């Protein structure tokens, strides 16, 4: 299935958003605790102009999988 992403960046208003693979670190509050989640190969839409990251269903799922580990 082809992954559909929005190529328009809502931050800098250029159409330079494309899928990028990156290392992503985030703190997530879950069940009253803060978890440090490290995703070494997150594939998510990113604006190549301003660097803004966007999360779609697939990358959100990738993050929640990393959280459950």
- Out of 52, 54, 56, 67, the only residue in the binding site for Zn ion (CB under 5 A) is 52
Tell me how far, at minimum, the Cβ of 26 lies from Zn ion, in Å.
20
Is there binding between residue 12 and Zn ion (CB under 5 A)? yes
Which lies closer to Zn ion via its Cβ, residue 22 or residue 50? 50
Question: CB–CB of 3/19 below 8 Å?
Answer: yes
Is there binding between residue 47 and Zn ion (CB under 5 A)? yes
Closest CA to 69 of 37, 28, 46: 37
Chain residues binding Zn ion by CB under 5 A are 9, 11-12, 47, 49-50, 52
């Amino acid at each position: 299935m082809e992954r559909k992403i929005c190529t328009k960046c809502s931050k800098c208003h250029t159409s330079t958003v494309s899928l990028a693979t990156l290392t992503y670190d985030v703190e997530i509050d879950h069940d009253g605790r803060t978890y440090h989640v490290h995703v070494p190969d997150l594939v998510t839409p990113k604006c190549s102009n301003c660097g803004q990251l966007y999360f779609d269903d697939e990358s959100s799922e990738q993050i929640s999988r990393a959280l459950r580990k």
